[in-house]
Amino acid sequence: MSAGHATSHYIRTSAQKAGLVMDQIRGRDVTLALATLKYSRKSVARDIEKVLRSAVANAQQKEGFGGDVDRLFVARCWANQGPSMKRVRPAPMGRAFRIVKRMAHLTVEVAERPVKKATLPAASRGGTKVKAKPKGRKAQPAAT
| 85 domain residue, yes or no | yes
Total domains present in the chain: 1
| 68 domain residue, yes or no | yes
Percent of the chain residues past pLDDT 90, beyond the cut: 69
Of the candidates 65, 94, 82, the one whose C-alpha atom is nearest the C-alpha of residue 9 is: 82
| 140 domain residue, yes or no | no
Residue 56 has pLDDT above 60, yes or no: yes
Q: Mind listing the pLDDT tens digit for each residue in 78-108?
A: 999 999 999 999 999 999 999 999 999 999 9
CA distance 2 to 110: 9
Q: Which domain holds residue 43?
A: 3-114
Residue 19 has pLDDT above 60, yes or no: yes
| 144 domain residue, yes or no | no
CA distance 58 to 130: 49
Q: Tell me the CATH number at 47.
A: 3.90.470.10
pTM for the full predicted model: 0.76
CA torsion through residues 42, 44, 50, 56, sign: negative
Of the candidates 72, 103, 102, 80, the one whose C-alpha atom is nearest the C-alpha of residue 22 is: 80
| 19 domain residue, yes or no | yes
